[in-house]
């Protein structure tokens, strides 16, 4: 990889290298490091599959997620003795098709992941940049506040917040975003503090760059690698926490086909009908695992310490 770059550089054509060619080159390099990690590639494909399923849910799902088939209550999966054609993964206690509900549930999970991650990422970056750039008492106040948030078990804090705001999916997501934010603040602050002492920041300041430009244009782009990794990991954390909130009845409210809520609704049938809890549980497990594997691969590909520069 490195040799290829040098070759390109020394061939010395008189034309400036175009930006798109440069971007392609960087993307190729990224993929080279990412594909070294097989688990990460598998995770990426599972995740892409999940995105496709969520986007095309109305086309894929065999039934409506809310339609209750009164003649087909608690039908086991199709491959068991009592399975019935048309209900691939069986039905739940009120006769809704589990597969369809799982497919629509993917929409919820991905939306929760995206929303929570964006919220906590932007908030965390802003607060962390300010803390790391200005230091002093601002830094102390912010970091002690984050320490307080971190001292609570995240689910408990989310529960308290939902109890105050009222149980709904939106409030649950806001609560989860708040509990995940300190991780971003700490990461950003640490990265900013390390980058701030480098000569190129001083050089930009000498060129006349103001604090805003220094923070967002000079320092922030050099802190993205750990943030991207943390973002993927908190994406899966958000899904997991939202499912837990749903299970406790504080997140998405029935009849929404959210995976955690589905688990909660099926709680009393765990012993009689194994499929009503197994499949939502598996869906959560596979999604979270795939995203975590992907995050590992991203870390390998983006961590400058592992890169031969």
Partner 1 sequence: MNDTLTDNTMLEVRDIKRDYELPGSLFKPKKIIHAVKGVSFKLERGKTLAIVGESGCGKSTLARMLTFIDEPTSGDLLIDGQKVDTRPGHLTQEMRQKVQIVFQNPYGSLNPRQKIGDVLGEPLAINTSMPAGERRDRATEMLKKVGLGPEHYNRYPHMFSGGQRQRIAIARALMMNPKLLVLDEPVSALDLSVQAQVLNLLADLQDEFGLTYVFISHDLSVVRYIADEVMVMYFGEAVEYGTRDEVFSDPKHEYTRTLFAATPRADIESIRARIAKKKAATAA
User: Which parts of this chain interact with partner 1 (CB under 8 A)?
Assistant: 5-6, 9, 12-19, 22, 198-200, 202-209, 213, 218, 221-222, 309
Q: Looking at beta carbons only, is 84 or 307 nearer to partner 1? A: 307
d(CA 207, CA 202): 9
Q: Give yes or no for a contact between 83 and 98, defined as CB atoms under 8 angstroms apart.
A: no
Q: Looking at beta carbons only, is 2 or 141 nearer to partner 1? A: 2
Minimum CB–partner distance for residue 132 and partner 1 (Å): 17
- Rg (alpha carbons) of the chain, rounded to whole number: 24
Minimum CB–partner distance for residue 149 and partner 1 (Å): 29
Q: Looking at beta carbons only, is 78 or 204 nearer to partner 1? A: 204
Minimum CB–partner distance for residue 28 and partner 1 (Å): 14
Minimum CB–partner distance for residue 191 and partner 1 (Å): 13
d(CA 287, CA 65): 20
Q: Looking at beta carbons only, is 72 or 209 nearer to partner 1? A: 209
By CB atoms closer than 10 A (0-12, 13-18, 19+), residue 69 is middle
Q: Give yes or no for a contact between 233 and 111, defined as CB atoms under 8 angstroms apart.
A: no
Q: Give yes or no for a contact between 121 and 128, defined as CB atoms under 8 angstroms apart.
A: no
Minimum CB–partner distance for residue 36 and partner 1 (Å): 20
Q: Looking at beta carbons only, is 67 or 303 nearer to partner 1? A: 303
Q: Looking at beta carbons only, is 78 or 225 nearer to partner 1? A: 225
Minimum CB–partner distance for residue 32 and partner 1 (Å): 15
Minimum CB–partner distance for residue 2 and partner 1 (Å): 9
d(CA 27, CA 34): 10
What DSSP letter does each residue of 242-258 carry, written as one string? HHHHHHTTSSSPTTS--
CA distances to 67, 97, 239, 282, 307 from 58, in Å: 14, 14, 22, 22, 43
Q: Looking at beta carbons only, is 59 or 206 nearer to partner 1? A: 206
Angle at 19 between CA 13 and CA 21, to 5 degrees: 65
């Amino acid at each position: 990889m490195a040799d290829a770059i040098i070759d390109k550089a020394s061939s010395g054509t008189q034309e400036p290298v175009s930006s798109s060619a440069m971007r392609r080159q960087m993307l190729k390099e990224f993929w080279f490091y990412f594909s070294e990690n097989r688990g990460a590639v598998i995770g990426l494909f599972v995740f892409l599959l999940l995105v496709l399923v969520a986007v095309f849910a109305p086309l894929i799902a065999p039934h409506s997620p809310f339609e209750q088939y009164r003649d087909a209550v608690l039908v086991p999966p199709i491959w068991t003795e009592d399975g019935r054609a048309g209900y691939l993964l069986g039905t739940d206690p009120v006769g809704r098709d589990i597969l369809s509900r799982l497919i629509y549930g993917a929409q919820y999970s991905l939306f929760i992941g995206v929303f929570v991650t964006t919220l906590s990422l932007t908030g965390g970056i802003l607060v962390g940049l300010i803390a790391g750039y200005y230091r002093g008492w601002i830094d102390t106040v912010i970091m002690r506040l984050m320490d307080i948030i971190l001292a609570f078990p995240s689910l408990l804090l989310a529960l308290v917040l939902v109890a105050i705001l009222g149980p709904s999916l939106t409030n649950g997501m806001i609560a989860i975003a708040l509990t995940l934010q300190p991780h971003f603040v700490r990461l950003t602050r640490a990265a900013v503090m390390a980058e701030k002492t480098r000569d190129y920041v001083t050089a930009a300041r000498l060129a006349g760059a103001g604090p805003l430009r220094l923070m967002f244009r000079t320092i922030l782009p050099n802190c993205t690698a750990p943030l991207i990794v943390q973002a993927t990991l908190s994406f899966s954390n958000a899904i997991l926490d939202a499912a837990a909130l749903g299970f406790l009845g504080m997140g998405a409210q029935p009849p929404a086909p959210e995976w955690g809520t589905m688990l909660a609704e099926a709680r009393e049938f765990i012993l009689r009908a194994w499929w009503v809890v197994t499949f939502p549980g598996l869906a959560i497990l596979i999604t979270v695992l795939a995203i975590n594997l992907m995050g590992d691969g991203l870390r390998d590909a983006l961590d400058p310490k592992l890169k031969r520069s």
